[in-house]
Amino acid sequence: MNKKKKYKIGDYIDWTSDIDCVKVIDRNTSHLIVISYPEAALWDLVQQKYRVDQMIAMMSAITRQSTSNVENLISGTIREWQREGLIK
């Protein structure tokens, strides 16, 4: 994973924060996705355009997990969101 990379929200994606999750909708398909913690925290960092290395440090502090665990979480989640067209 390129730790200096930044991701951004897809062109046809709208989202809103709810009390315990993030709700994401693809305007092209009207598909709704609900993202819960800790991935909801990651979504927030992506939309703020943090670099991956910054996301790793912040998510490690948020989740109180090791950086290696957090790297795996981020890498897997980013791949999934890219496949779903949520981020690019």
pLDDT of the residue at 23: 96
8 in any annotated domain: no
Q: What is the pLDDT of residue 30?
A: 94
- Is residue 2 in a domain? no
Report pLDDT for 3: 86
Using pLDDT thresholds of 50, 70 and 90, give the confidence band for residue 2.
Answer: confident
How many whole angstroms separate alpha carbon 27 and alpha carbon 46?
Answer: 19
- 3-class state of residue 83 by DSSP: helix
Cβ distance 50 to 58 under 8 Å?
A: yes
Note down the domain range covering 77.
Answer: 13-83
48 assigned to some structural domain: yes
Who has greater pLDDT, 81 or 19?
81
Q: What DSSP state is assigned to residue 6?
A: B
The CA-atom distances, in angstroms, between 70 and each of 19, 25, 44 are 23, 25, 15
Question: How, if at all, do strands 31-36 and 13-17 pair?
Answer: unpaired
Give the SS3 label for residue 37.
Answer: coil
Is the model's pLDDT at 1 over the cut of 80? Answer: no
Cα–Cα dist 24/16, whole Å:
7
Q: pLDDT digit string (tens) for 31-75? A: 999 999 999 999 999 999 999 999 999 999 999 999 999 999 999
Q: Tell whether 79 is covered by a domain.
A: yes
If one counts the domains in the chain, the total is 1
